[in-house]
Structure 1
Amino acid sequence: MAVGIVEQLVEEATRADASVAGMLRKLKVIAARTKAGALGEWVDHELSGYPVGTAVPPYRGPFDLQVLGSLSGPFGTGFENAPIPSIPFPEKYHDSLFRHTFREPVAELEGLAANGGNLRIAWPADAIAMAQHLSSKGSVRINPTLVLNAAYKAVSPSMLAGILDAIRSRILDLALTFEVVAPSVGEEGDKVVSSGQVTNIFHTQMFGTSSNVAIGSTNVHQTADVSVRGDESTLLKSMRAAGATDTELAELSTALRVDRDENGGVTPAEPGPEVSRWWSRWSLKAASAAGQIGTGLASGVAAQAINAYFGLA
């Protein structure tokens, strides 16, 4: 008997030598066949990379990295691979010079990790020139007698392996959940599981939240200011209070309209594909914000607001 996609994922995710990119492609099949947009969007980003400006899961950074540099001075003096401390540099430069967020596709990360050597992320020429300029002004004193010629952020193979392991663990969590509630999900012709159910499972495993009645943590004292199903203006007001920006609110309004149009002009019984995708992006931004807009009380209020809008609260 043929082995199903879910069984394959469980088996591969528990093997250290299995390709993470290969597992993601199997999840892409599940996302496409169930029309689970949020899952598909995450898989696409992992396979193709996260464009600049797109929220990145916390397991991809930003990470503080050691910076090493090439220094030279008079009479042939100098050092190679000398540690460059971040403290002398103004804080506004720390993110670009001493931290890194890994936006690369999974296959690229796997290739870099397989090489076994340390990865070097070179400072651009402008950064070297800026450091030299700041040094000449006395703003930054790396070494009073030496000049910084080159610098790079050092990335160990173990850091790359940690990112890949985080993705592998999420895939395994998804597969194990599917194994219990929908072992045939993604198989050709399978209609047992809806896109909403798959999206819920995805959100639960990725963010500890899901996109319908179980969305977010609602065990908070503050409640969302939504009491009428389909009350969009109050929903947007509640989402603004939870930290959503004007741009995000406009995108949510568009998502609500598209899902409503797809449902014959009537508010669907649960979040549709577009709203689920919006929630996925917003949740990812919240998780990346490390304790800001989408965590704790704010995420509970946001979850309650969306649940109430769909009549699920």
Structure 2
Amino acid sequence: MSTSLVKDIQKDAIKADSDLVALLRKCKVVAANLGSNEALKWINNELNGYTSVPEEEIPEYRETQGKWQFWNPYNGWCPIIFPEELAKVACEARLPESISTIWALSKKDLTSALTLSCGPSKEEAIRRLLRASGDFFETELRFVIPTNLPTKIVEAVKNLVLDWSLELSTEGVIDEDSDFTEDKVEKGTSISNQYFIQNVGMLGNVDGSSNVANTVTVTQKINLKNVSNTLDQIESAKASLPPELIASTEKLSEQIRAEIKKTEPDQSFIFGALQSLKNILEGATGNLAAQGASALIASLLQAI
């Protein structure tokens, strides 16, 4: 009697107690037989962890808002309070661990704090920010995340696997004894690549370069007061920016402020300059002040 891995995947995905690692290995066989690069990238990253992947390329279902704490020898773990404009960037992270580690955590009765390693670059960025505040002594830091995050990730992975396998079977891409006919391979590859691009993203294929905006047309009026307030907030965090960015950000800020003071400010110029300022700040990977400033500008631009 012939068997189908696609059907087996569906059965395992709906079981509450199914072995998630074994399930993903079955998915890997199907993806390899179909020649789906996007499916294989995602499966390999889940099995091995996203340790060599930039944080922004880790799937959104692994994202969480946590809390930074520092060790006080007299009071134990104490919270770190960030300025409002930096809090979201500083306290947002995506869990990079392998699915086997996350699956094991999801099966435990987690009553105490669950901590996440954000990597040395992010922790050092937090330390630089704290040192710049002038009110910090060198001590141990930790990032505490919600205890329900592992379960949330496990369920998201199982749902992705189930929906992918159902999409294959709906389109008639069913294997017999792990083999696909040539026409099913072609169809299944297209379905799989499209599915994982839409639901996970193009992993490992993101261009990290940022281009400065040269020309833009704005049809909606910009709130100039909000622009000035945003520039003030960026100015207040200037000391924490990378030294090589300070001159360029100051120059753009001065140009924007000068334009705002005109009787009839050029809205398109202001929009383009803000976009350029955002692009420059985005280039400072690992600097929390730059990320926070970039997020402020992004929020401002989205409202236009």
Tell me the TM-score normalized by structure 2.
Answer: 0.54
Kept after mapping to 1: 8 A contact 2:116/2:142: yes
Q: Distance in 2 between matches of 1:99 and 1:16?
A: 29
Decide whether aligned partners of structure 1 residues 165 and 186 sit closer, same or farther in structure 2, where only a CA change above 3 A counts.
farther
AA aligned opposite 2:164: L
Deviation at 1:189, TM superposition (A): 3.7
In the aligned structure 2, how far is the partner of 1:186 from the partner of 1:167? Answer: 25
Q: Distance in 2 between matches of 1:99 and 1:29?
A: 34
Residue identity opposite 1:43 in structure 2: I
Native 8 Å contact 2:3 2:177 kept in 1: no
Q: Which moved more, 1:166-175 or 1:2-11?
A: 2-11
Q: Which of 98, 115, 125 is 1:120 aligned to?
A: 115
Offset, 1:11: 1.0
Structure with the higher fraction of residues in helix conformation: 2
TM-superposed deviation, 1:194: 4.1
| Separation in structure 1 between the aligned mates of residue 116 and residue 15 of structure 2, nearest angstrom | 30
- Between the aligned partners of 1:11 and 1:171, the Cα distance in structure 2 is 11
Matched, 1:79 2:81: no
Name the structure 1 match of 2:99: 106
8 Å Cα contact 2:115-2:145 kept in structure 1: yes
Query: 1:162 corresponds to which residue?
Result: 152
- Separation (CA, whole Å) in 1 of partners of 2:129 and 2:198: 42
The offset of 1:204, in angstroms, is: 4.3
- Deviation of 1:193 after TM superposition, in Å, equals 4.1
Tell me how far apart the structure 2 counterparts of residues 187 and 2 of structure 1 sit (CA, whole Å): 6
- Once the two structures are superposed, the pairs formed by residues 1-313 of structure 1 within 5 Å of their partners are 1-50=1-50, 51-53=52-54, 55-61=57-63, 63-72=64-73, 78-87=74-83, 91=86, 95=89, 97-117=90-110, 118-121=113-116, 126=124, 130=128, 133-135=131-133, 137=134, 149-182=139-172, 184-185=174-175, 187-208=177-198
- 3-state secondary structure, aligned to 2:40: helix
Q: CA 1:197–1:122 in 2, change beyond 3 Å: closer, same or farther?
A: closer
Aligned residues of 2:106 and 2:150 also touching (Cα < 8 A): yes
CA-to-aligned-CA distance 1:184-231 (integer Å, 9 cap, x gap): 23744431544442233224433448xxxxxxxxxxxxxxxxxxxxxx
Once the 2 structures are TM-superposed, how far is the Cα of residue 86 of structure 1 from its aligned partner?
2.5
Residue 9 of structure 1 and its aligned partner are, at CA, apart by: 0.9
1:45-99 Cα deviation digits (max 9, x unpaired): 11112213372222122x3212233224xxxxx42233222227x83x964x523
Instruction: Tell me the secondary structure at the aligned position of residue 77 of structure 2.
Output: strand
CA RMSD of superposed structures (Å) = 3.5
Percent identity (aligned): 19
The structure-2 alpha-carbon separation of the partners of 1:127 and 1:162, relative to structure 1 and needing over 3 Å to count, comes to same
CA contact (8 A) 1:119 1:156 kept: yes
> Could you list the runs of 5+ residues in structure 2 that have no partner in the other structure?
200-205, 211-297, 299-304
**Which amino acid is 1:185 matched to?**
D
Structure 2 CA distance for partners of 1:82 and 1:148, relative to 1, 3 Å: farther
User: CA separation in 2, counterparts of 1:103 and 1:114?
Assistant: 18
Post-superposition shift, 1:128?
7.6
Separation in 1, partners of 2:185, 2:83: 49
| Post-superposition offset of 1:163 | 1.2
